[in-house]
Structure 1
Amino acid sequence: MLKFKNFSLRAALCVSSLFFSISASAQAPVNEELGWWDSAKAKTNKLLDDGNLSINIAGYTHHGRGTYTAERIAELNERTWGLGFTKTLRDAKDNEESLYAMIISDSHFKPQPMLGYAYEWMKPVGDKVEVGVGATGVLISRTDYFGGFPFPAVLPVASIGTRSSKLIATYVPRFSKNKGNGDVLFLFLRFDLN
C-alpha cells in the first residue's frame, strides 16, 4: 500500500504541475525567479487570497446509453447531488483559472470528494454570455476504485453562462472496450458569492 501511496502522490504532483504549467504558459509567471514548485504555490495562494468565491451545485450525471445497458442504467445514480466551492481568477487574456473542492453522490450512491484545478479559455458570445473550454486536473476519491484512496485524473471541461453564474460540464471517456466503464457526462452549476 505504501508504494501505491507514493505513486499516487507523485502522480498528483505531476497532474498539478501540468496544469500550473498550462496556466503559466497562458500568462506571465507570478515570479520568473521562482522554480515551478514555488511558482505553483504562489499561484495557488493568489487564487485562494484574491479569487472570487463561488458555490457549486451538482445534480445530474448522464451515463452513455451506448455504453451501459438499460438494466445497468436503472441501477446507477444519475441524480448526483452535491455541493462545493470554487475560487476563480481571470488572467490578463480574460481566461479563467479555478481551484475547487466538491463532494457529490456518485453513480453508486456513495460520497465522492474531489479537489482540483481547472483552466478555461473564455470566449464572449453576446453582451453578457460567454463559453469556455479547457481542462481540469483533479484528485478524486471513490469507494469503488483503490479502496477510496484519492487518484488523479485529467478531464476536459466546458462552460456556458455569465461571469457570475454558469453551467459547467466535464466528460469521463470510456478508456477500454469493455462496456459499463466511462462515457459519463457530469454537469453542475456555479454561482459567485462575492
Structure 2
Amino acid sequence: MIRKLTAIALLTPIIHLNAVADTTSYGIWSDAKNTLSETWSASNYELYVPINTWHNRHYYSQEKIDGYNEQPWGLGIGKYRYDEDGDWHGIYAMAFTDSHSKVQPVAGYAFQKMWRPSNNVRLGAGYTLGVTLREDFNYMPLPVIAPLASIEYKQLALQSTYIFGGKGNGNILFTWIKWQVN
C-alpha cells in the first residue's frame, strides 16, 4: 500500500482545476505529464538550504522537544519554471538532518500560485507532492503531500511547509532558503 501511495505521489501532481479543460482521466494524465515534462525541461536551477525545523509545542512534551534537532543541516537542488500565469513549478531533491539528526532525503514536485505586490517581491502558496526516506521507518519510501508557502525577493526566497501529524508525531514547520541560480 505504501509503495502504491509513493508511486501516486511521485507521478500524479494535483491538477490545477482552472487549467484542466478536459476532466476525463486521459486529460488529467496528459496535463500531469505535460506539467512535469515542461518543468523537467526548464533550464532554470535553484539551490535549497534548510534553516529550521520547528516542532509544534502543542503536540510535543518539553522533554521530547529538548531531544529533537531543530537545526537541519542539508542541501538541495531543483529545476523550476514560471508558467504563462506567472505561477511557479519546481522539481526538487533535498537531503537534511531530521529531528533525530539522521539523514532524510526528499524528492518531488511543487506548485505555488504566485502574487506580485511589487516587481521584486512575490508571495506564493501551493503544495508539494513527493517521497521521503526516514531512518525510523527503515528508509522505506514514504509519500509526502504538504502545503507550501513562500516570501520571495528577486532570486532569494524563504519557503516553508507544514507536516501534519498527531500527538507526538508530525506537526512540524520545515523552512529553507531557496536561491534561483538563473
Report if TM-score (shorter chain) is over 0.5. Answer: yes
| Structure 1 CA distance for aligned equivalents of residues 43 and 161 of structure 2 | 22
Whether 1:189 aligns to 2:157 is: no
The question of whether the paired residues in 2 share the 8 Å contact of 1:27 and 1:92 is answered with: no
| Structure 2 CA distance for aligned equivalents of residues 84 and 169 of structure 1 | 14
Whether 1:55 aligns to 2:47 is: yes
Q: Which residue type is aligned with residue 155 of structure 2?
A: S
| Among 162, 166, 175, the residue aligned to 2:157 | 166
Q: Which structure shows the higher strand fraction?
A: 2
| Structure 2 CA distance for aligned equivalents of residues 57 and 71 of structure 1 | 28
Q: Normalised by the size of structure 2, how large is the TM-score?
A: 0.88
Whether 1:143 aligns to 2:141 is: no
The CA deviation at 1:49 is: 2.0
Structure 1 residue runs of 4+, over 4 Å off? 34-39
The CA deviation at 1:26 is: 4.5
The question of whether the paired residues in 1 share the 8 Å contact of 2:20 and 2:31 is answered with: no
Q: Normalised by the size of structure 1, how large is the TM-score?
A: 0.83
SS at match of 1:13: helix
| Among 4, 8, 11, the residue aligned to 2:2 | 8
| Structure 1 CA distance for aligned equivalents of residues 108 and 11 of structure 2 | 12
How do residues 7-156 of structure 1 correspond to structure 2 at under 5 angstroms? 7-22=1-16, 25-27=17-19, 36-37=28-29, 39-145=31-137, 147-156=138-147
The CA deviation at 1:121 is: 0.5
| Structure 1 CA distance for aligned equivalents of residues 141 and 118 of structure 2 | 40
Q: Which residue type is aligned with residue 73 of structure 2?
A: W
The question of whether the paired residues in 1 share the 8 Å contact of 2:156 and 2:180 is answered with: yes
Unaligned runs of 5+ in 2: none
The CA deviation at 1:60 is: 0.9
Over the aligned positions, Cα root-mean-square deviation in angstroms equals 2.2
How many positions carry a matched residue from both structures? Answer: 179
The CA deviation at 1:70 is: 1.5
The CA deviation at 1:17 is: 4.8
Unaligned runs of 5+ in 1: 1-6
Note closer, same or farther for the CA distance 1:57–1:13 as it changes in structure 2 (3 Å cut). Answer: same
The question of whether the paired residues in 1 share the 8 Å contact of 2:13 and 2:32 is answered with: no
